[in-house]
Structures are given as C-alpha cells and as structure tokens.
Amino acid sequence: SQQGEEDPQALSIQEGENATMNCSYKTSINNLQWYRQNSGRGLVHLILIRSNEREKHSGRLRVTLDTSKKSSSLLITASRAADTASYFCATDSSNTGKLIFGQGTTLQVKP
C-alpha cells in the first residue's frame, strides 16, 4: 500500500524561483529517497537520506527529514525549465530495498 503523501500535488513556478515539495509517511523508516520522473520515462535517483540524518544537500537540492513528524521536504533552488518533471518520495522501512512511493508532485517550471 502507498504510505507516502506528497504535497502539493502540482506546483507551477517561474524559472529562478525555489520549489519546495513535502512528503509525509506513516511507519518508521530506514531511509527516505527522492526520485524524479520525466513524463513517460523511468525514475532518476536524486538523493537518499537515512533515518538518523536531518538534512542533506546535493547541488541545488536540499532534503530535510523530520522523523518525529514523519515528514520530509525537497527543496530545489534556482529552478530551471529542465527541472520540470514529477518528483516522488519513497520510503524503505526494512532496508530490503522495497520502496513505498508517495503520490508525487508534478513540478512545472516556466521559462
């Protein structure tokens, strides 16, 4: 079953602005991962944050994790039109690799 809830479901911003997406989950986790999917394509792994970590950075991406609130956020700074895609969070509760995906946020960055 899907345990992740993401908001917003859709986000439209101008190039150069920051985009923030949120993810909430229900059970305890080993790690939480963020993926990107361009329309009709496979998934690209963006960043993984472990349950004992609170924040991680990778280029223009910043991910936070609050295990007490069972939530995570993905911030994309200085967005570009090429960032237009769907973004999914996924949780791994057993460290077996079985991922439970959130519903996703569709991001549109207007040039």
The residues binding other proteins (CB under 8 A) are 1-2, 4, 30-31, 33, 35, 40-45, 48, 50, 88, 90, 92, 95-104
Nearest-approach distance from CB 29 to other proteins, in angstroms:
12
For residue 87, the cross-strand partners are 36, 105
Residue with smaller CB distance to other proteins, 98 or 110: 98
CA distance 14 to 76: 12
Nearest-approach distance from CB 97 to other proteins, in angstroms:
4
Residue with smaller CB distance to other proteins, 9 or 18: 9
For residue 64, the cross-strand partners are 55, 73
CA distance 93 to 102: 14
CA distance 38 to 42: 7
Nearest-approach distance from CB 84 to other proteins, in angstroms:
15
